[in-house]
Chains A and B, each alone.
Chain A
Amino acid sequence: MKWRFSKLALAKLSLPKLVPRSAPIILLILTLAAVTGFAAVSHLVVRYNANQQARGRKLYAHGRAAADLGHYDEAIAAFRAALTCDRSNSQYQLSLARALRDSNNPDRLDEAESYLIALWQRAPQDAAINLALARVAAHRGSIEDATRYYHNAMYGVWASEADANRNKARVELIQFLLKKAAVANAESELMALAATSPNDPAAHFQAAELFVQAQDYDGALREYQDVLHSDPANAAALAGAGEAAYHAGNYAAAQNYLQQALNSNPPDPNLRPLLLTTELVLRSNPFRSHISDAERNRRIGDAFTQAGRRLAECAQQKGVDLDAPGAAPASPLVDLQSRWMAAKPTLAHLRSPAETALPDEIMDVVFQIEQQTAIFCGQPQGLDLALLLSSQKREAAMQ
């Protein structure tokens, strides 16, 4: 009986008759009906969207909390649910993309990228989206894409703290390039970083560290000096400057900075061997300016003697008999021994004013011995190391 009633009620469910029979009036009525329907559906959609957005915000907040704790799976589920409530919400999409990217699951990178690409297509100038895309590209190891998106991020529009964020993006790019061993690209970015970074000791220090990673010690030294310019007692900067100067072959500066670093509070005991080597380099280098001829000759003599000793030790270590009569020069060490023996008598002529090329010739033998023995017998210590460093500096200067 109940169903029968329902049927009867529904059988009457039909549109009311339209009375007018004039086409313009009918079109007017249809227009009014459409406008009314439009308004009613608008109201419905607005209310529905408001409900959905409120639900979405709750889910989004939950996702953010989970992401902050590193619970990416939970965050992804929450962001996905938030997106079902508000599909076009860029913030939800961006957060989901970031969570997908950071979840350490390479399979999720595609999805993260597709969200970000969709966002990027809507706002290609948005720096945050470009940065997120750059990080996805970095996860994939794509230098070209990462560089492009990092650059977009640097030159894009930031909601706040534009300069600081741009600097961070460049630093991130440099770190990525260094990680991928793209040193040339990293160096060009470092140049830009040095030029654009704010005059702030922390920024200069960070730049200096990056220069060190890129093995651009001159650049690193400049940045450390900028730090020390603002903060002369900065122990870390002193140590960094000392090390950078040491690696750059600027031993005088290295000695200065390392000494100050060791005198600063707290002193870094790891710097002491570096300072000792630096001092040895400075004391043993016969080509250092402002030393007398006698001192130069003494240094040449000491270096020559030390080189002979180093050669003998290395030969012994490698089981090469340097004194075997008529031995064929099968080993480079034997050849070096011959050259050392041939140069030994010339030491007596060092004082002769006519022998202007002799110091160079003798030191050439010394440097050859130090370089070859370093290859055959490993990194030397003490005076041998100082001579080796001097040889490298001289070679670099000649190049």
Chain B
Amino acid sequence: MSESGAVKPNAEISPEPALARVRIPSRLFSTLEGVFNEEVFFLILSIFIGIFSGLAVVCFRLAIDWTHLALLGPLPQTHNWRLFAVPSLAGLAVAILVLHIFPNIRGSGVNQTKAALYIFNGYIPFRTAVGKFICSALAIGSGQSLGPEDPSLQIGASIASALGRQLEISREKLRLMAPVGAAAGLAAAFNAPISAVLFVIEEVIGRWSAGILGSVVLSAVSSVVIVRWFLGSEPLFRIPLTTFKRPTELLAYVVLGIVGGLASVVFAKSIGYLRPRLRSLPRWTQYFQPAFAGLLIGLIAFLGAPQIMGAGYDSMDQAMHGQYAWKMLAILAVLKMVATTVSFVSGTPGGMFAPTLFVGAMLGGAVGDLERHFFPHLTASTGTYVLVGMGVLFAGFLRVPMTSVFMVLEVSGNYEIVVPVIVANTCSYLVSRGLQAVPIFDLLTRQDGLILPSLEEDREEAILRVEDAMLPVPTTILSAEEYIDANFHRIQDSTDSTFLVRLHPSGWNIITRDQLQRFFQEGKGDHRLASVLPAQSVPSLYPDLPLDSALRYVNTYPLVPIVNRANSLKLEGVVSQHSVFQKYGTRSPHN
């Protein structure tokens, strides 16, 4: 049984079953009668994934609400014994379920989905969906300071993976099922399809891929339609009137961004520090870690801050409408950070999205109120700062800058605050990145012994392009329309062994000195060069393409022409195997 929250190649979730299945030749697409090709079928399948994920998320949300009502009542009041008892007892039950029945459902689920994509060929056991559903609903419903979004993401991914395996689709497509399902689950949980798509691209897939974008969008949209059908299209919050009047007020948002960035670092470092230490404690303590977290949360709630329990959307809503003074907002931000840290590091299954939004909202409101206290001319309402603050912590803590901006815009439906949101989120992101090199999700995967690609790392990495390995235009370029003897005489002054041949009306080919000489000696001097060249021309590249794209050709062709994008007849230079390998710092295998 895995001690880790992330998926590990152990007996429980070994990639072997998936590999075994995908090894079977795909029989499905051989019988499609020419109506559906694999791409079309995958797109249609994405819609079904969205529908099934949406239905599952609706049930998940009902389960959380029902658990909350049954265990804590509709509106928990302070100094109620249930606040104290319920989270800790539920924590104990969750620990038993996690340790004995659902061992791979600890944590948020984002990393597990990413691991499924990159390590396990898209394999996520269906049991994960069942376990995540039951345990997260119990944990969140009983007041653990976690959110339903990341579990929804994993439930969606798990459903998609199970469906893909049942249909025995190709390994390549099966890998992509997990992010498609993840987008559907997240979109349904957040009721925000754009943010879900962006998050999956930024965090789960980790790169921009046009091939999967259509499927991700389709699944996200269809799941949102399902959720809105059943649960209505009411937004998560009642959005207050937000204003942005004077550009000078951006300074206030810069301050909010910096504070949010610092808070993100503290939050991430706390989790990063405590999680491995708690995991290293004796196994029997793991039965009591979620219970202890529940006890602490219950104590905080009992003593006067029940707002920190669960996802906390109602409290965020009230903060947006000025229900708390700045001191209370600051206290709630700190307490929620503490509660979420202990809930998460204890291994309780549940998400980080909602707590991140909560902390950001409270922090935003506190900073905004304080700024307005000292600078009364600031016109933005507390609700505006709360809304911007939500995105600030999202950008700084989860390190998904684009998702954070779109999430706030999508949730608020207000584009008037787009500039403050971008400014504050950028500041928070930069501060967080400056003080903590590894984003939280990457940190968690590394703690679990997995190394997964990340978009942030890709951004940092300098990309080698074709122009970096480009050699100057050769002095001798032959023409396919000229006779062989004329071309042969032209190469006499050259020391090169291979020559580019310009084809008519466009295109390129290659001929070696020896080949040309042989044709000349065979008496073909009065033939046009075009008549003896191989039918297949040499592909040309553009200078801005990644150097990787040249690797496909330099092994086959000794010279690959590089042409101008605006004028394909204009030769910019050439690349050879040697020049490409030299740029990568390795020796050519032929040298």
Contacts and interface: CB of A to CB of B under 8 A. Distances in A.
Interface of A: 3, 6-7, 10-11, 13-15, 17-18, 21-24, 26-27, 30, 33-34, 37-38, 41-42, 44-45, 48, 55, 59, 77, 80-81, 84-85, 87-88, 107-108, 110-111, 114-115, 117-118
A117 B75 contact: no
Nearest to A9: B101
Contacts of A11: 127
Interface string B51-85: 11001001100100110010000110100000000
Main secondary structure of the interface of A (DSSP, over half): helix
B206 interface: no
Given A34-B52, A88-B234, 13 more contacts: A15-B162, A22-B32, A23-B31, A24-B33, A34-B51, A48-B62, A48-B65, A80-B75, A110-B322, A110-B382, A114-B239, A114-B241, A114-B383
Contacts of B241: 114, 117
10 contacts: A26-B167, A34-B48, A37-B52, A37-B55, A38-B55, A44-B59, A45-B62, A77-B77, A114-B240, A114-B321
Given A6-B101, A87-B234, A23 B130 contact: no
Interface centre among B74, B127, B167 (most CB of A within 10 A): B74
Contacts of A108: 323
A81 B74 contact: yes
Interface of B: 27-29, 31-33, 35-36, 41, 44-45, 48, 51-52, 55, 58-59, 62, 65-66, 69, 74-75, 77, 100-102, 126-127, 130, 162-163, 166-167, 226, 230-232, 234, 238-241, 314, 318, 320-323, 381-383
A85 B74 contact: yes
A227 B65 CA distance: 60
Nearest to A55: B74
B166 A17 contact: yes
A42 B230 contact: yes
Given A21-B31, A84-B74, A114-B240, A37 B126 contact: no
A111 B62 contact: no
Contact of A6 (B69, B74, B100, B323): B100
B230 A45 contact: yes
Q: Which 9 A-B pairs have the closest CB atoms?
A: A111-B321, A81-B74, A81-B75, A110-B322, A23-B36, A3-B100, A23-B32, A30-B48, A37-B55
A24 B31 CA distance: 10
Contacts of A18: 166-167
A302 B382 CA distance: 71
B122 to A, nearest CB: 15
Contacts of A21: 27-28, 31
A84 B318 CA distance: 13
Interface centre among B62, B239, B383 (most CB of A within 10 A): B62
B162 A14 contact: yes
Interface centre among A18, A30, A117 (most CB of B within 10 A): A30
Main secondary structure of the interface of B (DSSP, over half): helix
A10 B75 contact: no
Contact of B44 (A17, A27, A110): A27
Given A3-B100, A22-B31, A26-B167, A44 B62 contact: yes
Contacts of B51: 34, 37-38
A58 B267 CA distance: 41
Given A27-B44, A42-B230, A88-B232, A110 B240 contact: yes
Given A10-B130, A22-B32, A45-B58, A59 B240 contact: no
Contacts of A3: 100-101
B560 to A, nearest CB: 40
A108 B382 CA distance: 13
Contact of A59 (B65, B74, B231): B74
Contact of A111 (B65, B100, B232, B322): B322
B35 A24 contact: yes
Contact of A87 (B27, B44, B232): B232
Given A7-B101, A114-B321, A118-B238, A23 B162 contact: no
Given A10-B127, A30-B48, A117-B241, A77 B28 contact: no
B74 A110 contact: no
B318 A22 contact: no
Contacts of B35: 23-24
A41 B59 contact: yes
B380 to A, nearest CB: 13
A84 B234 CA distance: 13
Contacts of A110: 240, 321-322, 381-383
